[in-house]
Chain A
């Protein structure tokens, strides 16, 4: 009875130690903790727990360290089957157990200090081996989970960075009330927009790289940088901006077989005009009163060949609303598989409360969400709304 109680107590001690090692989640710590416990449980003068982890030898030993040569010998021994030879340089009596099947490590005690190992000691060595094996599996699982978590964390950071690259708040151009929102389908997306003040004029840029997720987002950053440079070089000259971006990106788009739609608008409330150059980008909408109409692009997307880029002019008066969005709005599907489409998009903009640009952004996303229902968001969605301020 005494033996059983003692074995139980020692067993609990093993579990306790192993549980504490659980928090460490590191293979070397697991083996070190197990070797301490093994030596104590079996009252040996040297406890060694060694395992091969991802092709590398990891050794835990107590109370004194063992050299790599000895550890390699141990592993060799464990592979050969149940070891029965003594540890080199230790006393003759040993007790041991093998970790894993096929064996990738072993647990071995030598000594003991007070005489001989009992069957209970052999059994305890086996318990330690089993616990170490389970623990190492947990370590591997934890490592996989950490890697997955790291990837997820990276994606979240990339998404935050992508949002941070976008302009926040409004713009100082007189007569321009601006609101915008980007909602990627995944963490990062293929849509981008930006706005630049240029005296009496605001320059708004929107682009959509075909495809979604990380591959599209990498290209999106390139498009964004090219657009910024083009705006700086060309000023409020939409057709020239599209031309410069087109020339710069063509080799890259050719190589990667990607297409990008791009729309650049200069909005000048003082002179009552919007100039628009669009390379295949849709939808772009102008709302006058409660009438919203689609403004069609002048040329095909970037990456689809060489084209003369064109520009159109739109007359604007106060309270008109100019909208540029990505096709993820039109392509949004409902639970029954229908698309949101151009007609609904125009109805939403025409019918929205137009007290501010923000109220229109909110209305569009509310309608998209209501339409999507349980089917969720399919594609990246970007929306830039500019409301012309002043007395009509």
Chain B
């Protein structure tokens, strides 16, 4: 799994590529979830490059959402690959996460909300 992180004011853009599962979740938690704070409460998560996702990864996504909400922010999913989309739908977690068409649309939404 490869995680690319871009920190902007207000927003952290995160792109995940490869297998997102029990083996790679600890890295994601350390690099993404534990970095969420009041200064950057919003995460735009690009799942376009995800090849596989298991229930541990789903739990990590829920944890991301909880941390963001605690700091008054949100998680917005963009570019959800089939491997991620299917498991999100199978577990009805698609109802829990906000989705946007593009990173730009996600940024606009976040900034509008926090303005």
Listed in ascending order, the chain A residues whose CB lies under 8 Å from chain B are: 208, 210-212, 254, 257-259, 261, 279-283, 296-301, 303-305, 307, 327, 331, 333, 339, 342, 379
Contacts and interface: CB of A to CB of B under 8 A. Distances in A.
A208 B55 contact: yes
Most chain A CB neighbours (cut-off 10 Å) among B86, B92, B95: B92
B115 interface: no
Contacts of B17: none
A127 B22 CA distance: 53
Nearest to A294: B90
B56 interface: yes
A379 B66 CA distance: 26
Given A282-B91, A299-B92, A300-B93, A259 B58 contact: yes
How would you classify the secondary structure of chain A's contact residues: helix, strand, loop or mixed?
loop
Contacts of B90: 282-283, 296-297, 327, 342
Contacts of A379: 22, 54
Given A281-B91, A327-B87, 10 more contacts: A211-B22, A258-B59, A261-B91, A280-B91, A296-B90, A301-B92, A304-B93, A304-B96, A333-B52, A379-B22
B96 A305 contact: yes
Nearest to A339: B52
Interface string B23-57: 00000000000000000000000000000101110
Given A210-B56, A331-B54, A280 B62 contact: no
Contact of B59 (A211, A279, A282): A211
A305 B74 CA distance: 14
10 contacts: A210-B55, A210-B56, A254-B66, A283-B90, A296-B89, A299-B95, A301-B62, A327-B87, A331-B52, A379-B22
B71 interface: no
Contact of B55 (A254, A300, A327): A327
Most chain B CB neighbours (cut-off 10 Å) among A257, A298, A307: A257
- Closest 7 pairs (CB-CB, A-B): A280-B91, A210-B59, A282-B90, A210-B55, A300-B92, A259-B59, A257-B63
B55 A261 contact: yes
A90 B91 CA distance: 81
B59 to A, nearest CB: 4
Contacts of B96: 300, 304-305
Interface string B48-85: 00001011101100110010000000000000000000
Interface residues of B, number: 19
Contacts of A282: 90-91
Contacts of B59: 210-211, 257-259, 303
B86 A212 contact: no
A251 to B, nearest CB: 13
How would you classify the secondary structure of chain B's contact residues: helix, strand, loop or mixed?
helix
A280 B56 contact: no
B93 A212 contact: no
B63 A212 contact: no
A282 B94 CA distance: 14
A379 B23 CA distance: 12
Contacts of A261: 55, 91
A305 B59 CA distance: 12
Given A211-B22, A303-B62, A259 B55 contact: yes
B39 to A, nearest CB: 22
Contacts of A299: 92, 95
Contacts of A257: 59, 62-63, 66
A263 to B, nearest CB: 11
A281 B91 CA distance: 6
A378 B52 CA distance: 13
A296 B92 contact: yes
Nearest to B69: A305
Most chain A CB neighbours (cut-off 10 Å) among B22, B52, B89: B22
B55 A298 contact: no
A254 B59 CA distance: 11
B92 A342 contact: no
A301 B58 contact: yes
Contacts of A259: 55, 58-59, 62
B86 A342 contact: yes
A295 B97 CA distance: 22
Nearest to A278: B92
Contact of B91 (A297, A331, A333): A297
